[in-house]
């Protein structure tokens, strides 16, 4: 066999391997996007179709709370909010409208990443964006989808197969291959993309929380969407200063008439143990209760 023929065979084998890997990855997305995973573009639930002329679309963005760790895509705050809005506005004699919602929450996403996430998915054209803040504090879980993937940063596609392989096939040789891909992907990200600026002092973190709210609301307004910023119930006495920072930084945006603040700091029943899965994350009933508190502000912009 000539060297050229060998190179052709190797190239074809690599092309087949890559194709099979992509097909397997897309299959993994289809099997998990309605459960605990994300679709091929990195958000929960099925891929959204092009927005129709009679469609009212809600988007939620945030970290663990918005993502809805531990519940299916159809049991998150996003899904419950769409249902509440639909039941309220879809009445006999009302205009023929379609109500949809898209969950842009990302597990482990820090507040300073909310605006960038909205900008990335601006093509989905939501009418109202709900910015669901997590309680202040460090990340509790790894990011999902990964926020340090070179493949995602370059193409928008979110590889899921390595994670599925590592979770489902522990102890098998194939896990080493998946782990190697993940390491290379993250190393490329660190080489090609600027790492996030970390803030260390307590006051820096308070200021960053408020600034993140203003940037996320501005990102929504820039895309002709209204913004509803939602602050969670207090978990610690110091959380109140974070809430005050958000209210202060949003103040200039209230004049637009397109920004609302829903401060749930004092509503501790939203984190009652009866609606928590593990003492931290909301159950389906908890997400439904949260959606009920947010819905009036959303309806104000849709009616």
With beta carbons less than 8 A apart as the criterion, state whether 213 and 260 touch: no
With beta carbons less than 8 A apart as the criterion, state whether 78 and 103 touch: yes
With beta carbons less than 8 A apart as the criterion, state whether 229 and 217 touch: yes
pTM above 0.75, yes or no: no
pLDDT tops 90 at residue 232? yes
Give domain limits for the chain. 51-140+197-302
Closest CA to 227 of 297, 128, 114: 128
229 DSSP β-pair partners = 131, 261
Q: Kindly state the average pLDDT of the residues 161-189.
A: 53
Q: What gap in Å lies between CA 64 and CA 107, rounded to an integer?
A: 4
Q: Is 223 helix (H, G, I), strand (E, B) or coil?
A: coil
pLDDT tens string 22-55:
444 445 444 444 445 788 888 999 999 999 999 9
With beta carbons less than 8 A apart as the criterion, state whether 93 and 50 touch: no
130 DSSP β-pair partners = 60, 228
Average pLDDT, the chain: 80
Q: Which of 50-64, 139-153, 234-248 has the least mean pLDDT?
A: 139-153
pLDDT tops 90 at residue 20? no
Please calculate the CA angle 260-34-66 and round it to the nearest 5 degrees.
25
Fold classification of 51-140+197-302 (topology level)? Rossmann fold (3.40.50)
Query: Could you count the other beta carbons within 10 Å of the beta carbon of residue 207?
Result: 16
Q: Is 218 helix (H, G, I), strand (E, B) or coil?
A: helix
To which residue do tokens 């926020």 refer? Answer: 147
pLDDT tops 60 at residue 233? yes
Q: Is 53 helix (H, G, I), strand (E, B) or coil?
A: coil
What does the block give as tokens for 173? 């040789």
């Amino acid at each position: 066999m000539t060297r050229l023929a060998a190179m052709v065979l190797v190239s074809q084998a690599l092309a087949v391997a890559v194709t099979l890997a992509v097909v397997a990855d897309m299959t993994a997305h289809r099997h998990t996007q309605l459960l605990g995973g994300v679709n091929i573009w990195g958000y929960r639930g099925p891929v959204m179709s092009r927005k129709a002329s009679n469609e009212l679309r809600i988007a939620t963005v945030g970290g663990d709370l918005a993502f809805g760790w531990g519940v299916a895509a159809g049991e998150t705050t996003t899904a419950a909010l769409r249902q509440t809005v639909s039941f309220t506005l879809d009445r006999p004699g009302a205009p023929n409208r379609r109500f949809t919602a898209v969950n842009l929450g990302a597990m482990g996403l820090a507040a300073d990443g909310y605006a960038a996430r909205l900008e990335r998915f601006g093509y989905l054209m939501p009418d109202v964006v709900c910015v669901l803040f997590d309680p202040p504090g460090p990340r509790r879980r790894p990011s999902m989808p990964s926020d340090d993937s070179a493949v995602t940063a370059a193409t928008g596609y979110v590889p899921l197969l390595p994670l599925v392989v590592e979770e489902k096939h522990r102890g098998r040789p194939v896990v080493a291959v998946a782990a190697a891909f993940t390491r290379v992907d993250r190393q490329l990200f660190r080489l090609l993309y600027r790492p996030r600026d970390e803030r260390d002092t307590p006051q820096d973190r308070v200021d960053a929380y408020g600034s993140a709210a203003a940037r996320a609301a501005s990102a929504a307004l820039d895309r002709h969407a209204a913004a509803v910023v939602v602050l969670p119930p207090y978990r610690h006495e110091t959380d109140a200063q974070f809430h005050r920072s958000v209210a202060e930084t949003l103040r200039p945006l209230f004049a637009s008439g397109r920004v609302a603040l829903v401060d749930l700091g004092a509503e501790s029943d939203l984190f009652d143990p009866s609606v928590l899965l593990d003492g931290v994350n909301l159950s389906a009933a908890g997400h439904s209760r949260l959606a009920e508190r947010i819905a009036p502000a959303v309806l104000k912009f849709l009616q």
